[in-house]
Copies of this chain bind each other. A is one copy, B any other.
C-alpha cells in the first residue's frame, strides 16, 4: 500500500492540498549545486550519447578505490533498487527461495513476487531490538535457498545490525552456500558504525547494492551501483544492455563530483537527522508510542498497541500528513513508518497531528 499512498499524496497535492510528505525516504534537502553544475557541464560537453552498460570507467574506478575492490567488480545501476531487481532476476531464475528478515523494505517482497520466487520471511521484533535470531535463520534455510537479503541499516526501523549478529549471519550463509545481498544504502550516513558486507570477503561471495540517493540527496537522479564478483557484474551488464542500456553519462559525471563532497555532506546529513530523530523521539514518547532509537536516517517505526495502521494512515493523509502503514513492511499492523524527510517545523506539525490522532 506504500505506492498507493504515494500516488494518492501526489494526486491530493495536484488538487492543491498541502501534504506533509513523510511517506518516502526522499530527503527534503536539495541536491547540492556543485552536483547540478557537474551534470550541466557534462551535458554541454556532449555526454548525451549511449554509453557502456557497465557504467563509466572513471566512476567505477573511483568507487572501487573507495570500497577496496577492483573496477571490474563495480557496475552502475539506475538506483539501488535496480541492483536488487537485477540481482534477484538473475539469481532466482527457475525458482528457489529468498529469506528476508522483517520488517523489510517493501520492494524486496514485491520484486520476489513479481519474479515468481518464494519468499521466506524471518520475523524480528521491536521488543528484541529487531535482532535476527540465528537459530531461526538456520532452520529457514533449505536446499532451495538462494539468497538472504539484508538491509543494513534497516528501512523502516533505522536499526544497524550489531557486529556479532552480522558475523553470525555471514558465517551461516557461507557454511550453507547461500548468497547475501546486502542493501547498504543508508550505510555511509548512519549514526553508529555499520559493518559492510564487503568487510568479510570483499566482493567474492556476497553482493553489495547501494546508491547515491540518500547520502547526496539525489533520489530522483536514479543512480546506484552493485559490487559483486566479476561473473555477476558481467551478467548484470548484459541485463542492462537489454533493459535500461546505461545510466545517462551526465548523471554519472554528477555522481563522480558527489563523491568528492562525500565527507562533508555525510556529516551534515547525519547531524541534521540526529536532531530530527531526537525531536521525533520526544514527541512520540510523550504520545505513548514505543520504538527503538534510530541509528541511521531517515525513519522511525513507532508502535501502539491496538493500532490499525492502514486505517490510521489513510485518515492521517486526509488530515494532510502522509506516512506509511506498518503492513507495508511485513506483518506489523500496530506500527507505522515516519520518514523524517521534511524541515523540522513541518515534522513538528506532523508529529502533533499524529499525537492528536491517537489522543
**In the complex, which residues of chain B have a beta carbon less than 8 angstroms from the beta carbon of A10?**
51-52
Contact, CB under 8 Å: A48 / B221? yes
Shortest distance between the CB of A100 and any CB in chain B (Å): 14
Contact, CB under 8 Å: A245 / B221? no
Does A312 sit at the interface, judged by CB under 8 A?
A: no
**Other-chain residue from B14, B43, B244 in contact with A79 (beta carbon distance below 8 A):** B244
Q: Given A51-B220, A52-B7, A114-B239, are A245 and B79 neighbors across the interface (CB < 8 Å)? A: yes
Interface string of A66-92 (1 = CB under 8 A from B): 000000000000110110010000000
Interface string of A231-242 (1 = CB under 8 A from B): 000000011011
Interface string of A208-245 (1 = CB under 8 A from B): 00000000011111100000000000000011011111
Does A57 sit at the interface, judged by CB under 8 A?
A: yes
Interface string of A37-77 (1 = CB under 8 A from B): 00110011011111111100100000000000000000000
Residue in B closest to A93 when the chains form the complex, CB atoms: B116
Contact, CB under 8 Å: A244 / B82? yes
Provide the bound-state CA to CA distance between A26 and B217, in Å: 31
Interface string of A6-36 (1 = CB under 8 A from B): 1100100010000000001010001100001
Residue in B closest to A112 when the chains form the complex, CB atoms: B242
Does A249 sit at the interface, judged by CB under 8 A?
A: yes
**In the complex, which residues of chain B have a beta carbon less than 8 angstroms from the beta carbon of A241?**
3, 107, 110
Contact, CB under 8 Å: A220 / B49? yes
Contact, CB under 8 Å: B244 / A78? yes
Shortest distance between the CB of A295 and any CB in chain B (Å): 23
Shortest distance between the CB of A276 and any CB in chain B (Å): 18
**Other-chain residue from B46, B54, B57, B251 in contact with A248 (beta carbon distance below 8 A):** B251
Does A111 sit at the interface, judged by CB under 8 A?
A: yes
Does A328 sit at the interface, judged by CB under 8 A?
A: no
Provide the bound-state CA to CA distance between A301 and B5, in Å: 50
**In the complex, which residues of chain B have a beta carbon less than 8 angstroms from the beta carbon of A247?**
222
Shortest distance between the CB of A22 and any CB in chain B (Å): 13
Shortest distance between the CB of A27 and any CB in chain B (Å): 9
Contact, CB under 8 Å: A53 / B3? yes
Contact, CB under 8 Å: B52 / A31? no
Given pairs A31-B43, A31-B48, A81-B243, 15 additional interface contacts (CB within 8 A): A3-B238, A7-B52, A14-B57, A26-B49, A36-B40, A39-B40, A40-B40, A49-B219, A79-B244, A79-B245, A93-B116, A110-B241, A111-B243, A220-B246, A222-B248
Give the B-binding residues of A (Cβ under 8 A): 3, 6-7, 10, 14, 24, 26, 30-31, 36, 39-40, 43-44, 46-54, 57, 78-79, 81-82, 85, 93, 107, 110-111, 114, 116, 217-222, 238-239, 241-251
Query: What 7 A-B pairs have minimum CB-CB distances, sorted nearest first?
Result: A31-B48, A49-B220, A48-B220, A36-B43, A26-B50, A40-B40, A110-B242
